[in-house]
Amino acid sequence: MIINHPLLGPRDSAEFVYLGAAELMNRPDPETASAEDWHGYAYLRDNPAGVHRELWFHEGGDRSILIVTRDTTTHEISAVELARKPRAQT
């Protein structure tokens, strides 16, 4: 699988480490979050057969974290962006 890094161009996915769903960037506000919010953040994930937004860490490269939009049934990647905004759009 090839991931088209927004800054460095196409790179082998072997250089990356998978970090899970992009929703992990939407951490609940510690001041207001309930126990249910934390439970959902820590444990509950959708498991879509289809388009999935996920975090990939370029560990073997520039160490940036990317948000990759990937179809889990075909591995087709439709979008790659830097995960630099404070909150991921879902």
Partner 1 sequence: MHDLTPITALGGTTPRVDTVGDVTLTEVPNVALASVAARLGQESACAKKLKSLLGATVPEPGRAAIGRDYAALWAGPDQWMLSADFDTHEDIAVHVKSHFSNTASVTEQTDAWTCFDLMGPRVNAVLELLCNIDLTGFDTGHATRTGIHHLGCFVIRTDARQSVRIIGPRASAGSLHHAITTAMVAAL
Q: Given the rule CB under 8 A, which residues bind partner 1?
A: 7-12, 14-15, 59-64, 82, 84
Q: Minimal CA–CA distance to 16: which of 53, 54, 59, 52?
A: 59
Q: Which is nearer to partner 1, 14 or 49 (CB)?
A: 14
Smallest distance from the beta carbon of 46 to partner 1, in angstroms? 29
What minimum distance in Å lies between the beta carbon of 44 and partner 1?
31
Torsion angle (degrees, nearest 10) of CA 15, 83, 24, 75: -50
Provide, rounded to whole angstroms, the least separation between the CB of residue 1 and partner 1.
12
List the one residue out of 28, 29, 25 whose CA is nearest residue 54.
Answer: 25
